[in-house]
Amino acid sequence: EAGVTQSPTHLIKTRGQQATLRCSPISGHTSVYWYQQALGLGLQFLLWYDEGEERNRGNFPPRFSGRQFPNYSSELNVNALELEDSALYLCASSAGQVHNEQFFGPGTRLTVL
């Protein structure tokens, strides 16, 4: 069974640009979660999508947005990049809300210069 995949592995942008990160969940999983792991700030919940709808959102500004496609893959968009957006962005998927067991991908390392 293939795990959660994310692309790209690394992404380098400059301040003010936009970044798009992609995630493919485990086959059969309908929920996708995004987390930010920034140095010194730990793992912070960003967004949760289920069946194409945004179900919950963490304490992040509106320039962090995303969507979930009909095939359950997901995209995270970060507009007007700031230096502090540099982090590892982790995507996770789950089969539903039973026990909320989330399986994580390898992450996308975003560097903002």
Nearer to another protein, 16 or 28 (CB): 28
In whole angstroms, give the CA distance from residue 60 to residue 21: 16
Q: Which of 34, 22, 13 is nearest to 82 (CA)?
A: 13
The residue among 1, 4, 2 whose CA lies nearest residue 91 is 4
Binding site for another protein (CB under 8 A): 4, 31, 33, 35, 42-43, 45, 48, 50, 55-56, 58, 90, 92, 97, 99-107
> Measured from the CB atom, is 25 or 105 closer to another protein?
105
- CB nearer to another protein: give 84 or 101: 101
User: One-letter amino acid identity for 110?
Assistant: L
Give least dist CB 36 to another protein, A: 11
